[in-house]
Amino acid sequence: MATPLEFARVSDLIPSMHVRYVVKLKILRRYRCSSSLDTLQLVLSDDKGDRIQATIGEGYVANVSSRLIEGRWIFIKYFDLVNAVGSFRLTLHDYKICWELETSCWKIGPLASGDDFGFVQFEDIIGGFRDPNFSVDLVGRLVSINDFDHSDPGDYGCQQLYLELENEA
C-alpha cells in the first residue's frame, strides 16, 4: 500500500515512515555552496511565517535550479526530512527538507503577502541572547567589510565574509 500524502505546515513537519508530506512554501532565500559537493540551499516559509531549510544535492541542482526563484511560492511533494545539524543553521526548525529523485515542485499562486522577515535587535545579538549558530534577519548601516576566514570553511564549504554593521537607532 502506498504511503498517504498529507498537506502540512512547516511547524508540523517531522520525519515519518507512514506519511509523505506535501507543502506549499515561499522561497525566501537561495544560494549555492560548493565544497566537495555542489548544493543549493533554500530558506522556505509557509503562509504563517514558519521557516525550514532545504538542501538540493548536486545530482538534482541542474534540473530544478531555474524554477526555484526567490519570492516564488511553490508546491513540493515527495521529499525527505532529516535532522538539521551543523555549526551554522539557516532556520530554527529541528529538521530540513532534502531533495530526492522523486521530489517534485511547481509554481503556485501566492498564499500570503507582506513582510517575510523577523528582524532582531542589535542588543539581543551583542548581549548574547541569540544563538550564533542560527542566521537572523538584521538591518544596520554597513561600516566595513573584512576578509573571510581561510581557516574554517564551515560545514558546507562556504567562504565566510565578515561585515561590520552599525545600529542607527
pLDDT for the residue 78: 92
In angstroms, the CA 164 to CA 144 distance is 5
My answer on whether 148 and 69 are in the same domain is no
> Residue 115 domain-assigned?
no
> Residue 117 domain-assigned?
no
pLDDT < 70 regions, the chain = 1-4, 34-36, 87, 115, 142, 148-160, 168-169
pTM, to two decimals: 0.74
My answer on whether 31 and 70 are in the same domain is yes
Give the end of a domain, one of 83, 108, 133: 108
My answer on whether 24 and 103 are in the same domain is yes
Three-class SS state of 116: coil
Domain hosting 135: range is 122-166
| DSSP one-letter code for 114 | S
My answer on whether 130 and 79 are in the same domain is no
My answer on whether 50 and 76 are in the same domain is yes
> Chain-centre distance of CA 67, in angstroms?
16
